Amino acid sequence: MTDRLPDRMRWCFRALIRAVTFVIRQLLPENAYRSAQSRWKIIRTNRHLTRILGPEFRRSRSLIEIDITYACNLNCFNCNRSCEQAPTGEHMSLQQIQSFVDEWIWEGKVWDRIRILGGEPTIHRHFFEIIELLRSYRRAYAPGTVIEVATNGYGERVNDAIRKLPPDVNVSNTAKQSNVQRDFRSFNVAPIDVPGYRRTDYTNGCFVTEICGTGLGPGGYYPCAVAGGIDRIFGWNLGRQRLPKESDGMETELKRFCSVCGYFKRLPEGPLNGPVKSQTWEDAYTQYRAGRRHGRSECQRSGTN
């Protein structure tokens, strides 16, 4: 962003803040420090401060998450892909994934990690073909790339698929047992509906864009895979059809998606025992359902595999 300070000056500001934080930590009792820390997290996202310090989180260019399907066999409350709130069979076709992989080969793109998820990825009709397609890409062009499947580990069909995976594919199994995930965040409580986020610069993103990386789904590329799931509901059609450049911070997309994404909120939350939604999300789901009733077909946005 051209209106931000030079990197050197920004580095100095950051170092100063780290030093002040260190001193405050020594002076304040633990509770007072935690409360000050929470307040600071919100202040850090303020527009003016962001202009000085730059964004708090940066999209990883070496990690990618691919939502191959938004279908799931376990409809958890507060799912960050809206599998429970707005069930669908929408998915990526094999052909669609192949064309994205072809682009990586053409561009010489080598990922450190490709994570396959959804929805529940193992219930995609062509799950094993997709795995093979990615393994071929790795064999020929990116021998160091980690391929990982993130699964809910729920039910016989899913576990059977996991057992059949080749040993060179990693599995991240959350082993869910029910549709209540008490440790989930309030994904459907939009920061724009919560006091305290009025002067926020949403290009700050959150940890997801940094540690999970670029997202790819039926709609294209996003600053994170969660954003692709948000786009499915809001219908903004902001997915990029070409791989974003290394220099591309995807600020326009972050501004839009993070403003409604509950993961952006900086304050600690208690456990969730059931669904929680703010008005923006209530309205979005109502419109999504109305759109489907009026014939906005899933086939318009997904492949036909």
- Which residues contribute to the site for ligand SF4 (CB under 6 A)? 72, 74-76, 79, 81, 83-84, 118-120, 152, 176, 205-206, 208-209, 223-224, 226-227, 254, 257-258, 261, 263-264
- Closer residue to ligand SF4, CB minimum distance, 137 or 222: 222
CB of 254 to ligand SF4, least distance (A): 6
SS3 216: strand
What single-letter DSSP state applies at residue 295?
Answer: T
Q: What angle do CA 201, 235, 237 make, to 5 degrees?
A: 75
Q: At its nearest, how many Å lie between ligand SF4 and the CB of residue 269?
A: 14
Is the CB of 101 or the CB of 261 nearer to ligand SF4?
261
What is the nearest approach in angstroms of ligand SF4 to the Cβ of residue 81? Answer: 5
Give least dist CB 44 to ligand SF4, A.
14
Other Cβ atoms closer than 10 A to 140: 9
CB of 119 to ligand SF4, least distance (A): 5
Number of Cβ within 10 Å of residue 88's Cβ equals: 21
Residue 242, classified by CB atoms within 10 Å of its CB into exposed (0-12), middle (13-18) or buried (19+), is exposed
Least separation in angstroms between residue 208's CB and ligand SF4 is 4
Strand segments, DSSP code E, in 27-169 are 63-69, 113-118, 146-151
Per DSSP bridges, beta strands 113-118 and 63-69 are parallel
Query: What is the C-alpha separation between 157 and 38, in angstroms, rounded?
Result: 43
Query: Between residues 25 and 199, which has the closer beta carbon with respect to ligand SF4?
Result: 199
Residue spans of beta strands (DSSP E) within the chain: 63-69, 113-118, 146-151, 170-173, 214-217, 220-222
**81/138 with CB nearer ligand SF4:** 81
Neighbouring C-alpha atoms within 13 Å toward the C-beta of 183: 2
- Tell me how far, at minimum, the Cβ of 234 lies from ligand SF4, in Å: 11
Nearer to ligand SF4, 122 or 138 (CB): 122
CA distance readout (Å), 24 to 32, 33, 39, 46? 10, 7, 13, 21
Q: Which is nearer to ligand SF4, 150 or 243 (CB)?
A: 150
CB of 142 or CB of 226, closer to ligand SF4:
226
Collect all residues with Cβ–Cβ distance below 8 Å to 273 and sequence separation of at least 6.
180, 182
From the CB of 160, what's the least distance to ligand SF4, in Å? 17
Q: Which is nearer to ligand SF4, 195 or 295 (CB)?
A: 195
Q: Find the length of the chain.
A: 305
250: region left, alpha or beta (phi > 0 left; psi from -120 to 50 alpha)? left
